[in-house]
Amino acid sequence: MKIKIKNLELEIPILNASGPRCTTEKELLDLEDSLSGAVVSKSCTLEMREGNKGKRYWDCETLSINSMGLPNLGFEFYGEMSKKVKKPYIISVGGLSLEDNVTILNHFLTLEKKVGIELNLSCPNIIGKGQLAYDFDCLEEYLTEIFERVDISKFLAFGIKLPPYFELTHYVGVYMKISKFPIDFITCINSVGNGLVIDYEREKPVIEPKNGIGGLGGSIIKPVGLSNVYNFKKLFPKIDIIGCGGIETGKDVFEYFLAGASAVQIGTQFHKEGTGCFKRIYEEFLEIMKSKNYKSLSDIKIIP
C-alpha cells in the first residue's frame, strides 16, 4: 500500500493530522513508533506559542470542537526534530504572517534531512485573524510571494492545507488561483470553522476561547471532507489529495480513496484513541481491500 507524493515515500497511506498529539518531542516520537505512514508536526510559528487560554477542546461521540490557537514550540524545535524522526517527516507551517513563513521555510531548507512541508492556510482559531484561503485574491498573492522567495522545489514535497469549501463555485475559484503554482499535494479539510456547541445544563459553551466559537471535527464533518476531496481531485487530477475529516474506521479510509484521496490524515479519532488508532484503522482497511480482492491502491477506482 505504498504511495509516493513527489519525493515523499510513504509505506502506509494513513497519517496523523497536524493538531492533536504532535506538539512535543514525546508526542512526535510516539508517532515515530506507531503504524502511521509519516510524522506530521503541529503547525509551527516563528515563536513558541501557548495558544488560547481556558478550556479549548471538547469532544463527544460524533464531533469535536476546539479553539487551540496554534500552541507550539516554535519552528526551530520542529526543525531540530528532523534529526530524531526516521520516518518521512512533514512539518506543518503556520506562521502568523507572510514574512514569518518565508523565514521558517527558508530555515527548513537548511536542514540536513530533507522534509515535506504542509503550509497551513486554514487555521480558524487565531483570535483576530480570518482564514487566508477564503480570500482568493490574497491567496494568490500570498503563494506568489512564497514561491518567489523560497526554493520550494528543494523540499521532498510541498503542499497546502485548505479549509472546507461549501459552494461548487468556490472550488473553481480556488483552482483558478492555485493551479498557477507547482504544488505537490493539497490536504483537505481542516476543521469546519466557527461552530458553537452549548452545554444546556451549564447554559454555557463547552469551550471558552472566542466566546465558545471553534473548529468542528469528528465524524459529523466527513461528508464535507469527502466532497472537498472529490471536487478538488476532479479539478487537479495530477495533484495528490490528502483527505482529512471524520475518519474513524477502515471503511472511512476506503471511502476517501473512492473520492480521490491518495492518502488520509486522522485528527479527532487520533486525539481520542492515541497512536493505536493507526494500526486498527489500517487493518480494517486491509480487510476491506482483501474482501474486494484489491491488491493495491490503484485498484480502487474513483467514483464518477
Question: Does a structural domain hold residue 58?
Answer: no
From the candidates 44, 123, 188, 277, give the one annotated as an active-site residue.
Answer: 123
Question: Does a structural domain hold residue 159?
Answer: yes
Percent with pLDDT over 90 in the chain: 97
Question: Does a structural domain hold residue 149?
Answer: yes
Q: How far apart are CA 161 and CA 204, in angstroms?
A: 31
Question: Does a structural domain hold residue 209?
Answer: no
Q: Is 60 a catalytic residue?
A: no
Question: Does a structural domain hold residue 63?
Answer: no
Question: Does a structural domain hold residue 134?
Answer: yes
Assessment of whether the complete model's pTM goes beyond 0.85: yes
Question: Does a structural domain hold residue 210?
Answer: no
Q: Are 92 and 43 in contact (CB under 8 A)?
A: yes
Question: Does a structural domain hold residue 65?
Answer: no
Q: Total domain count for the chain?
A: 1
**Rounded mean pLDDT, 50-68:** 97
CA angle 78, 82, 88 (to 5 degrees): 115
**pLDDT tens, residue by residue, 195-241:** 999 999 999 999 999 999 999 999 999 999 999 999 999 999 999 99
**Rounded mean pLDDT, 160-168:** 97
Q: Are 139 and 146 in contact (CB under 8 A)?
A: no
* Owning domain of residue 146: 3-52+70-203+217-299
Among residues 143, 138, 99, 137, which one has the least CA distance to residue 119?
143
The CATH number linked to 190 is 3.20.20.70
